[in-house]
A = this chain, B = another copy of it.
């Protein structure tokens, strides 16, 4: 059930089979499988999964291609709650490995926060990515268009950009390299630095050879209406017309709460085995946090695999019969 503050004392002594950090596609899919394996589960979610921002999910099997990402999450959460899973809106601050269990310290509320500790035998890290638009956030209107025709995922939305005049908004020289795979879909590409960084001559030459225009002055604002971006106005008043855009932003893997536990990483991603177990035997990582593609379909599968492996572990440890009294 959706836990309220009033209920938390009832959960104080419970040891969940699994605590899932993150209620996005990966965490919810894991929760659905776990509850169906009769394992007690708590999902702790800070709100605003990355897929929440997807205005239209175009490539998920079984749903019409204009389904908003938040609809998938809403359906998944209802599904999970129907299976009697516990769900708490809170922020996971720290995980301490106690040997047989994890102690998971969470913060509730933003102003006058309170703190609680929950315990579980297994942990699934499904906390994904926090996107940040450090420079673009200073531009007016960017949030009017992000997720509409101002995209954030080439794999997802390259198709939507085909043969269109596309702006690439980068946060570093390297982030502009996405122009090359975008070039598969459209040759009409303009790169914007927003005046935030320098582009070296070697990159400049490659962009030029590919026919991509590079604009290095600050952007004053995005133009458009009804969530349809139609271009940008530069600092000097020049207007650049565009049909679509791709924000190649900075991302931060959200796994600070694991910093006290030694785990194998590849860059910011957790390394996992084919069932999504990390280098720690009782910690699994699913979705964007682990090595691999960042896609809703893959997150959903990751959750299913992690849940199934945890079920196998617990079943083998306990013998064949789950005791009738399932906590929660």
Contact = CB atoms under 8 A, between A and B. Distances in A.
Interface of A: 25, 28-29, 32-33, 35-38, 58-65, 67, 71-72, 75-76, 79, 82-83, 155, 158-159, 162-163, 180-181, 183-185, 187, 210, 274, 292-293, 295-298, 300-305, 308, 311, 315, 320-322, 324
10 contacts: A29-B297, A36-B158, A38-B159, A61-B76, A62-B62, A65-B82, A83-B159, A181-B315, A184-B315, A293-B304
Contacts of A162: 38
Contacts of A37: 158-159, 184
A296 B59 CA distance: 15
Contacts of A155: 308
A100 to B, nearest CB: 21
Given A293-B304, A301-B300, A304-B298, A187 B321 contact: yes
Nearest to A69: B62
Contacts of A59: 32-33, 36, 304
Number of copies: 2
B293 A38 contact: no
A76 B58 contact: no
Contacts of A63: 62-63, 75
Given A274-B292, A304-B297, A308-B155, A322 B28 contact: no
The 4 nearest A-B residue pairs measured at CB: A301-B301, A183-B320, A36-B159, A62-B72
Contacts of A65: 79, 82
A62 B60 contact: yes
Contact of A62 (B76, B82, B298): B76
Given A62-B71, A301-B301, 6 more contacts: A25-B61, A36-B59, A37-B158, A61-B72, A64-B79, A184-B322
Nearest to A298: B301
Contacts of A61: 25, 28-29, 32, 72, 75-76, 79, 296, 300, 303
Contacts of A303: 61, 297
A58 B80 CA distance: 11
A58 B82 CA distance: 11
A151 B158 CA distance: 41
A23 to B, nearest CB: 12
A129 B305 CA distance: 20
A212 to B, nearest CB: 10
A79 to B, nearest CB: 6
A103 B97 CA distance: 55
A69 B126 CA distance: 27
